[in-house]
């Protein structure tokens, strides 16, 4: 990776409505052009949209929600799709599924997070679950974006991303 070529990272979850959306927006916010994040789902529902609480959490954190939408991972398996350098599953369901062939055979890792959309309670309690998930993703991404360039080459990338699953 050169300083002129951003590292493309795809975050995957089942429905692409909460965790993967949070991760995409946050990496694009923190990455300052060194990274380009995307998100997708293994099986988004018909007319799936980002969870409104995910969007509200991002907005309250000062993170842009422009361009965020739910989509199938099939979008990124086509020949004209952006080349991914790293694919990270952020939910246990997507981690256990058979992924499509990714052009260029990107590095892969799994960073599991509890689904904040399953939190019970009133809106404020549910919103807190989204805030906590965003905080956990933020902790890993802060370490990730500050890795030295040598840790981001193709061979080291998978190892580096997998090590972060334990932080």
CA-only gyration radius of the chain, Å: 15
Buried b (16+ CB within 10 A) or exposed e, 35-44: bbbbbbbbeb
* Domain-located, residue 117: yes
* Domain-located, residue 164: no
Count Cβ atoms below 10 Å from residue 14 Cβ, excluding itself.
22
* Domain-located, residue 77: yes
**pLDDT tens digit sequence for 70-117:** 999 889 888 888 999 999 989 866 545 555 666 677 888 889 899 999
pTM: 0.87
What is the pLDDT at residue 5?
85
What is the pLDDT at residue 104?
73
CATH code of the domain in which 44 resides: 3.40.50.2300
* Domain-located, residue 120: yes
* Domain-located, residue 2: no
- State which residues form the domain around 58: 7-157
Mean pLDDT of 149-160: 69
* Domain-located, residue 96: yes
Provide the number of structural domains found in the chain: 1
Percentage above 70 pLDDT, the chain: 87
Statement: residue 131 has pLDDT above 60: yes
Q: Could you tell me if 143 and 162 are in contact, meaning their C-beta atoms sit under 8 angstroms apart? A: no
* Domain-located, residue 1: no
Residues 6+ apart with CB under 8 A from 52: none
Q: Which residues pair with 13 in a beta bridge?
A: 41
CA distance 157 to 96: 21
* Domain-located, residue 88: yes
């Amino acid at each position: 990776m050169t300083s002129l070529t951003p590292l493309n990272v795809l975050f995957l979850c089942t429905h692409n409505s909460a965790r993967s959306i949070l991760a995409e927006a946050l990496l694009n916010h923190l990455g300052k052009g060194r990274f380009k994040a995307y998100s997708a789902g293994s099986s988004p529902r018909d007319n799936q949209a980002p969870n409104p609480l995910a969007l509200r959490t991002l907005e309250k954190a000062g993170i842009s929600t422009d361009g965020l939408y739910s989509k199938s991972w099939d979008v990124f398996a086509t020949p004209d799709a952006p080349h991914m350098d790293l694919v990270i599953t952020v939910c246990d369901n997507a981690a256990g599924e058979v992924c499509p062939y990714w052009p260029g055979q990107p590095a892969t890792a799994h960073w599991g997070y509890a689904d904040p959309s399953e939190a019970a309670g009133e809106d404020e309690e549910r919103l807190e679950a989204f805030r906590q998930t965003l905080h956990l993703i933020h902790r890993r991404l802060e370490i990730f974006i500050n890795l030295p360039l040598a840790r981001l080459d193709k061979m080291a990338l998978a190892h580096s991303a997998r090590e972060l699953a334990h932080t």
